[in-house]
Amino acid sequence: MLTETARSKGLRKFIPQPDPYAERYGRFTLTARDVEILELVHRYRYLEARHIRALVGGSDQQITRRLQGLFHNKYLGRYARRERMRLELDPGSPLIAYGLELKGARAIERHRGAAAVPIGVVPEPVRWKKDYTRRTDWFLEHHLMVSNFRCVLERALRETPDTELMTWNQGKDTWFRVPIPGGRKTFVRVAPDAYFVLRQGRQVRHFFLEADRSTEEHRRLEAKFIGYWRHVQVPPDLEGGHGRRRVNVLFVTTGERRMSSVIETLRLLPKLNRDALGGRGLFWFCCEPRYDLAASESVLGPIWRSATETALSLRT
């Protein structure tokens, strides 16, 4: 069921206007599309307005108006970097993200309960905490980087009927730790930003996603590479105990210079894994500007590269 905690972690959000301001939208009644928007934001956790417009049917103007109504009626929260909320510090329109508020979470819970009654099933619980509305700038920007990749991918797959997104998972369920051989038993802990599976015909491919915002030092990058390499060598009990047959780790960086630096770190790292399980080609790299919503199919195309190859595609 719905859970809420009250621990504060530094609020970074716009404050809705007083209640009478919402009256500009008339008597606000949730529609099926509003519930779809709330479910979408809950699924992604944080989204920009452009992402919501790209994934929800209807005119951009209509969806923008519904987002305004959902915000002023306290179903959704708006978030931005604090300095972007002061134009004298950073002029220009702020990048605004939307997140679910308690009222929105309760609305989803009611809708799921009503939909479950006629078919006699237990509704899926709404996993939401008050902590989700209290995050720092870096957390929000990092999460939006993951959301942007996921949104572009889902848009691309809508136009690619032969390829299907079978699984997308974020959070602690994707985290793992692997033992490092040696005289003293040690472990490397890895927390992927996401894990997803694509199926094209009979071919199934597994991917880990790392959104790199240039905040991790050289030593931490090396530990990630080692952790993923060991994880592939000693995989968990998947696919009948045979492990993942095709797996890649996707590193998305903010720019070309950072991507080159991360690739160079990988090149200088001594090879740890057995040849039968793949080499440095396990890791693929791309910078975020190479794909966007306007040309979403680009994310599936030959924009990826490894330490030794270029023009790699998620569909090959």
Q: Please tell me which residue, 245 or 120, carries the higher pLDDT value.
A: 120
Q: Tokens standing for 188? A: 């490397």
Give the pLDDT score at 13: 57
Give the pLDDT score at 156: 95
Residues 127 and 145 both lie in one domain: no
- Domain, as residue range, for 181: 139-300
Give the pLDDT score at 94: 59
Residues 147 and 293 both lie in one domain: yes
Query: What tens digit of pLDDT does each residue of 299-312 get?
Result: 999 999 999 899 99
Residues 172 and 221 both lie in one domain: yes
2 found inside a domain: no
Give the pLDDT score at 169: 95
Residues 189 and 246 both lie in one domain: yes
Q: How many CB atoms lie within 10 A of CB 84?
A: 16
147 found inside a domain: yes
Whole-angstrom Cα distance, residue 282 to residue 60? 40
| Average pLDDT of the residues in 220-239 | 76
Considering 100, 133, 166, which residue would you say is the last residue of a domain? 133
Name the pLDDT band for 157 (thresholds 50, 70, 90).
very high
Q: Kindly compute the dihedral angle of the four CA atoms of residues 155, 156, 158, 164, in this order, to the nearest 10 degrees.
A: -120
CATH number at residue 173: 3.40.1350
38 found inside a domain: yes
Residues 208 and 272 both lie in one domain: yes
Residues 237 and 197 both lie in one domain: yes
Residues 254 and 293 both lie in one domain: yes
Question: Is the CB of residue 157 less than 8 Å from the CB of residue 144?
Answer: no
307 found inside a domain: no
Considering 85, 110, 133, which residue would you say is the last residue of a domain? 133
Residue the block writes with tokens 């998972």: 169
Question: Is the CB of residue 314 less than 8 Å from the CB of residue 198?
Answer: yes
Residues 69 and 88 both lie in one domain: yes
Query: What tens digit of pLDDT does each residue of 269-284 get?
Result: 886 655 454 578 899 9
Give the pLDDT score at 28: 83
315 φ/ψ angles, rounded to the nearest 5 degrees: -100, 5
- In the chain, the percentage of residues whose pLDDT exceeds 70 is 78
- Number of domains the chain contains: 2
Question: Is the CB of residue 178 less than 8 Å from the CB of residue 227?
Answer: yes
Residues 101 and 143 both lie in one domain: no
Sequence-separated (6 or more) residues with CB below 8 Å from residue 295: none
Q: How many CB atoms lie within 10 A of CB 162?
A: 9
Whole-number mean pLDDT of the chain? 82
Considering 133, 161, 181, which residue would you say is the last residue of a domain? 133
10 found inside a domain: no
Q: Which amino acid would we find at residue 185?
A: K
Q: Tokens standing for 141? A: 């920007």
